[in-house]
Each structure stands twice: as structure tokens, then as C-alpha cells.
Amino acid sequence: MRDLNLLIGLAMGLNLVALGSSRLPSIIRATALQGVLLGIMPLLLEHDFGWQVVAVAVATAIGKGVVIPGLLQRAMRAAHIEREVEPFIGFVPSLLLGAFGTIAALAVARSLPLLPEHAKSLLVPGALASMLTGFVLLIGRVKAISQVCGYLIFENGIYLFGLLLIGSTPLLVEAGVLLDLTVGIFVIGIIVDRIQRAFDSLDTRKLTVLRE
């Protein structure tokens, strides 16, 4: 349990790194590292794990840690985007939001009715904090790629919550979930690529033709 909490703590720290980064490559790297950490977690959580748990762990680490960040980097290079991140919500306010959010997540998680075996774990606070971070990035950043990173961190939060259930629900569902997740980001990656070709920029502020 202590090892697991250490990893979750690291992942929560990476949330703050992503919030405070002013350059796209470092946001992508933080997201990738978080993905690898998430991949290790199921192995620590289940003591007598079977091949299904190993499959989930490997797929998560490779998907979130290697494939998706690679795609993002490729999209970034292909589009010749400037590497600076332009924020709607400034870096300091984002960091403050993230920090307060992390504290609030710890407080909220304490008041939730958890099973005794989960009461000492950081899974629920980590999940809440990551989801909040993802939302801040999703709303507070202009560049499409940083929004995709925000979406990924948001999904990572949901994955953390899902780890509560890894012992009881059939892993079939978990595998399907993972597959869909990867495909989803993959599709978003393609879209980012296409948007670039249509607009010659990844600035989502230019996506304002459609409105009342």
C-alpha cells in the first residue's frame, strides 16, 4: 500500500508539473511519465495477479506512456507548432488551482464512504486531483495539443478510480475500456493533424465560425 501511495503521490506531483509547464514538450513528457506510473499500479495493487492484470498494466504503460505521447510529438513536429503554451488561465493561477484542488481532493475523499481496504489509499484523492487538473488544462489552454494532454490527464484520473474495481469486475471490461481509450486519443490525434492542414495552426481560438 505504501509503494502504491508513493506512485500516486508522484502522479499527483506530475499534475502540477503539467499545469506549470510553459512548453508543450514538457507537458507531453509529464503526461507520458504519469502514464507509465499508472501502468505499474495494478501490479502493486493485486498481490496474486494473473495474466489479465499484467496485460492491463503493460497495455496501459505502453499506450499512455509511449504510443500516445509519440503521436502527440509527431503531430507537433508535423505541424511546426511553436512550443510555447498560450494559456487562457495563467500558469500561476493554474498552479494555485491545482494545489488547492489537490488539498480539496484529499478532504473530499475522506468524507466519502470507502471500503476499509481503500480508506488508507490515495487512489480516490489522486483520481479527483487528476480529473481536476485535466479539466483546468482542457479549459485553460489554447493549443489543441495541450488540450489533448488535459483530456489524457482527465482520463488518467478516471483510470485511477477504476483501479478500485480491478479486483471485483471482470477484466474483460477493463481491457475493452483501455482499447477504446487509446483509440479515442488516436482519433483525436488524427483530427489535430487535420485541423492543422485546414487552419495552418493549432490555435483553437480560431475555431469560432460556428456560433449563433
Partner 1 sequence: MRELLLVFVPLAGALVAWFWPSDRGRPWLLPAVGAVHLVLSAWLLVQPPTVAPNAWMGFDAVARAVLPVVSLLFFACSIYAVTYLGLRAERENRVFVSVLMLVIGLLSAGHQARHLGVLWIATEGVTLAAVPLLHFNGTPRAFEATWKYLLVGGTGIALSLLGSFCLGYASMHGGGSGDLTFVALAAQGAALSRPWVLIAWVLLLAGYGTKMGLAPMHTWKPDAYGEAPGIVGALLAGGVTTVAFTALLRVRAVVGASGAGAIADRTLLAIGLFSMLVAALFLLGTRNYKRMLAYSSVEHMGILSIGASLGPAGVFAALFHVWSNGLTKGALFLSSANIRRAADSASIDDVRGMSVLTPRSAMIFVAGLFAVTASPPFGPFFSELLVLRAALGAGHYAAVAVFLVCLLFAFFGLSRVVFAVVDGRPRPATVAASRRFVETAGSLVPPALLLGLSLWLGLFTPAVLRESWTAAVAQLFPTP
In order of 69, 82, 144, 145, 207, the CA distances from 25 in angstroms are 9, 11, 13, 10, 23
Binding segment for partner 1 among 57-65, 68-76, 90-98, 185-193 (CB under 8 A)? 185-193
CA 22 from chain centre, in angstroms, equals 17
Coil, helix or strand for 102? helix
By CB under 8 A, tell whether 187 contacts partner 1.
yes
By CB under 8 A, tell whether 180 contacts partner 1.
yes
The residues that bridge with 141 in the sheet, in sequence order, are 87
Residue of the chain from 55, 89, 138, 142 that contacts partner 1 (CB under 8 A): 138
By CB under 8 A, tell whether 49 contacts partner 1.
no
Residue of the chain from 177, 201, 203, 205 that contacts partner 1 (CB under 8 A): 177
Residue of the chain from 14, 125, 126, 151 that contacts partner 1 (CB under 8 A): 151
Query: Please, are residues 37 and 11 in contact by the beta-carbon 8 Å criterion?
Result: yes
Binding segment for partner 1 among 15-23, 24-32, 39-47, 183-191 (CB under 8 A)? 183-191
Q: Is 200 left (phi over 0), alpha (psi -120 to 50) or beta?
A: left
Query: Please, are residues 144 and 202 in contact by the beta-carbon 8 Å criterion?
Result: yes
Give residue 180's identity as a one-letter amino acid code.
Answer: D
Which stretches of the chain bind partner 1, using CB under 8 A?
112-115, 131, 138, 144, 147, 151, 154-155, 158, 161-162, 164-165, 167-170, 172-173, 176-177, 180, 183-184, 187-188, 191, 194-195, 198-199, 204, 207, 209-210, 212
